[in-house]
Structure 1
Amino acid sequence: MSRNISLLLFLTVILGTLIVVSSQNWFVIWVGLEISTLALVPLLCSNFSPRNIEATIKYFLIQALSAALLLNGAMIQAWLTGSWSILEPSNNVTMLCISIALAFKIGLAPCHFWFPDVLQGLPFTQGLIIASWQKIAPLVLIFSISNTTFSYLLISASLISIVVGGWGGLNQTQTRKILAFSSIANMGWITVTALYSTQAAIIMLIIYLLINTAVFLLLDLLTLSTLGHLNNTAQLSPISIILITMLILSLGGLPPLTGFMLKFTSLYFLISNNFIMLSAIMVLGSLLSLFFYIRISFNVSLVLFPQHIVSLTAWRNSMSTTYLPANTWMASSLSTIGILAIPLTLPLYIII
């Protein structure tokens, strides 16, 4: 696929998301979601490998199912109330269809089964779009319907997602599947927080997008597809040991890293609204996720891993000055922000 066509399709994906974010009409929202999905499908299968095409077909089928549920729910509302407005009070059937559709789109449990397999079959770049940008539009819709009577359904799905995301990543060796289960858990944190404070959920979403983008770009830059490849990080790039370790621990929510603000923000608003007992379940689920985050950090830190190095690595053997490509600069910049951006996130709380 040529670069111009890829750029046009990617801009169309962005346009579809902007349509969803800026609209208050269910039919226009459905059109925006479909535009984004149909433009993304050719980008996902650009490699034309069997595993890549399989993941693309699975993604398309799930998105078609969720879009059909959302459209049916909106049509039921239009039939009963005569309005397509998202601000119009909705009936139970409409909110049930829309809640299930949005759970499929962002990968909330028990509608998460497609996400790890699809992400594993895609390259890191396309997987980054699925795990970050494509979550924005559904989450904005969840922010809009967070005060409905079906909020308890989203709370249950969020709590299950936090536990499933931590439990499912324990026995994984593929980095993309680990990031998929990590995304499922973080979507649970953001969704349950949105039901009590939309502003806090927006802050959490921004922090998550920054850290997740940096992790995907760094793993793609070093071609680290399994936990076994992490052992050679010291030979590929010494500074990457620090970046990957800090980013993964930041994604796990350890203070004083940026990802700590994600968990702290959620727990602060939930406990302020007497969401105490269920917050304990969320913390326990987060401890499960922290186990495989620490395992990744441990594998990266094995600078003296037992092996026989015959030749010098590229970074040691190179004597000439080379210019770093744009993706290296982007990965490094986002990694720094994802690790040490607490002073940048504090002003957001003043706005709240």
Structure 2
Amino acid sequence: ASSHHWLLAWAGLELNMLSILVIIMKPKHPRTAEAAIKYFLTQTIASTMMLFSSTINATQTGQWNISMMTDKYACTMLLLAMTMKIGAAPIYFWLPEVMQGTAMLTALIIATWQKIAPISILFMTYNHLPPKIMMTIGILSTIIGGWGSINQAHLRKLMAYSSITNLGWTMVIFSSSPLTATINIAIYMTTL
């Protein structure tokens, strides 16, 4: 997803998603199959939203360059698509269920590695994203992650809500200082 062309970034996200599906389904069990289907459906919807957002922007600007996001509806749709991909509020419901249905190492990969590409796209487009919506998503994620982790008996679901909380703080920081947000997410991914 480090490409500056929308179609290449989209293809990179899709390859990333398809590769983790094999890892999710590694232990043959109905629970892992269910988790893989939930992951596939949510990621596909988010990728479709991202592709639609980039198409709207390309019709306005005539370019497929990531740094040329000018249409405000396309920017808002891109922000929602990326928050869906990383599992932030308000579209976070899939993350605890998918992580609960996977092995512990796979849940760790979903909570960390799988967020690198969408966050890099957010970093590349942060100048054009609506800061008030980003701040609202961050605050909602922090609150929902905190509430969801209360009395949580399942370790992988607790990891998911912890991830949602950290994503919330990252989104709040992203609104004012993208470099600090990048440092925050790097520390989170290396210490989880």
User: Do the two structures share a fold, i.e. TM-score over 0.5?
Assistant: yes
- Whether the 8 Å contact between 1:143 and 1:195 is mirrored in structure 2 is no
CA deviation profile, 1:198-250 (whole Å, cap 9, x unmatched) = 221121111101111xxxxxxxxxxxxxxxxxxxxxxxxxxxxxxxxxxxxxx
Residue equivalent to 1:98? 78
Aligned letter for 1:107? G
Matched, 1:38 2:18: yes
Identify unmatched segments of 5+ residues in structure 1: 1-19, 213-352
How far does the alpha carbon of each residue in 1:290-326 deviate from its partner, in whole angstroms, 9 at most, with x for none?
xxxxxxxxxxxxxxxxxxxxxxxxxxxxxxxxxxxxx
Of 106, 128, 144, the residue aligned with 1:164 is 144
Over the aligned positions, Cα root-mean-square deviation in angstroms equals 1.1
- Secondary structure of the residue aligned to 1:195 is helix
Q: Give how far 1:43 is off.
A: 1.3
CA shift for structure 1 position 146: 1.9
Which structure has the bigger radius of gyration? 1
Alignment partner for residue 87 of structure 1, among 67, 70, 76? 67
Aligned residues: percent identity?
36
Render the CA deviation track for 1:12-43: whole Å, top value 9, x for unaligned: xxxxxxxx12x111111101000111111111
Question: Secondary structure at the residue paired with 2:48?
Answer: helix
Number of residues of Structure 1 aligned to a counterpart in Structure 2 = 192
Show CA shifts across 1:75-134 (max 9, x none). 111112110111114202211211110010111111101100100000011111110001
SS of residue paired to 2:65: coil
Which structure 2 residue ranges, 5 or more long, are not aligned? none
Aligned: 1:187 with 2:152: no
Q: Are positions 1:198 and 2:173 aligned together?
A: no
Tell me: CA distance 1:47–1:149, structure 2 relative to 1, closer, same or farther (3 Å): closer
Hey, what does 1:292 align to over in structure 2? none
AA aligned to 1:57 is I
C-alpha separation in 1, matches of 2:138 and 2:124:
17
1:114 aligns with 2:114: no
Contact 2:146–2:161 (CA under 8 A) maintained in structure 1: yes
What amino acid sits opposite 1:48 in the alignment? K
Instruction: Select the structure with the greater relative contact order (CA < 8 A; seq sep ≥ 6).
Output: 2
Paired with 1:204 and 1:108, the residues of 2 have a C-alpha distance of 16
Contact residue 24 and residue 87 of structure 1 kept, 8 A: yes
Q: Find the counterpart in structure 1 of residue 125 from structure 2.
A: 145
Moved over 3 A (4+): none
- TM-score when scaled to structure 2? 0.96
What's the CA shift for 1:64? 0.2
* Cα distance change of structure 1 residues 119 and 149 upon mapping to structure 2, 3 Å threshold: closer
Change (3 A) 1:45 1:72: same
Distance 1:25 1:211 in 2: 32
CA distance in 2, matches of 1:36, 1:89: 23
Judge conservation of contact 1:119–1:177 (CA < 8 Å) in 2: yes
| Mapping of residues 20-39 of structure 1, within 5 Å | 20-21=1-2, 23-39=3-19
Residue 186 of structure 1: how far off its partner (Å):
0.1
Q: How does the TM-score come out when normalised to structure 1?
A: 0.53
Letter in 2 for 1:176: R
Q: Distance in 2 between matches of 1:114 and 1:148?
A: 27
